[in-house]
Amino acid sequence: MTAQDIPALASLDFVPYLNSEGQLPEQFQGKVGVYAVFDQAKTLQFVGFSRDVSLSLKQHLVRQLDRCYWVKVKTVDRPSRAVLEEIRAAWIEENGSALGDDTSWTQPIQVKALMTPEEQANYQNPIHDEVAQGKVLKNVARRVEAEILAQLKERGVQSEIRFNPKIKEEGLLDLK
């Protein structure tokens, strides 16, 4: 792919992150591509690429709900990592600024950082062994999951959201 083949980010149409039925854009399901996520003011927040753009958009919605309102996508029929990285780099350069920390967009939610003082005290209780700490983390993960699901519902999200139950004891929340 040459530089002329890379569409300018500004030339692509904004697609609402959620349609009127509260669903993610279906046209990107199972599609390989590069995508840019924008907030409510249409300010670029994140640029990524994925083997399933729709699945990645769902992950981002759960991790960064308040920053996911619009998306621009360039699907690629014959993908290669080099091509996807080239498009991503061009879009970031076009935006003219470095984007923030990618880990909050790309890594599971770490619930330890979201513990209440009571949960922290319970977790750090010297009587607790690893099994007991795992149970505390699982309960924190369940609480944070409930909060996220409530926020998604408030935003009108109707897409099915299922978290991976196997990693909650590790203090992680990620979609299944």
pLDDT along the chain (176 residues), means of 10: 77 96 93 96 94 95 96 92 92 80 89 94 85 92 97 95 94 93
The whole-number pLDDT of residue 4 equals 60
> From its phi and psi, is residue 29 left (phi > 0), alpha (psi between -120 and 50) or beta?
beta
CATH code, 3-98: 3.40.1440
The pTM assigned to this predicted structure is: 0.88
The first and second tokens of residue 139, run together, are 């309960």
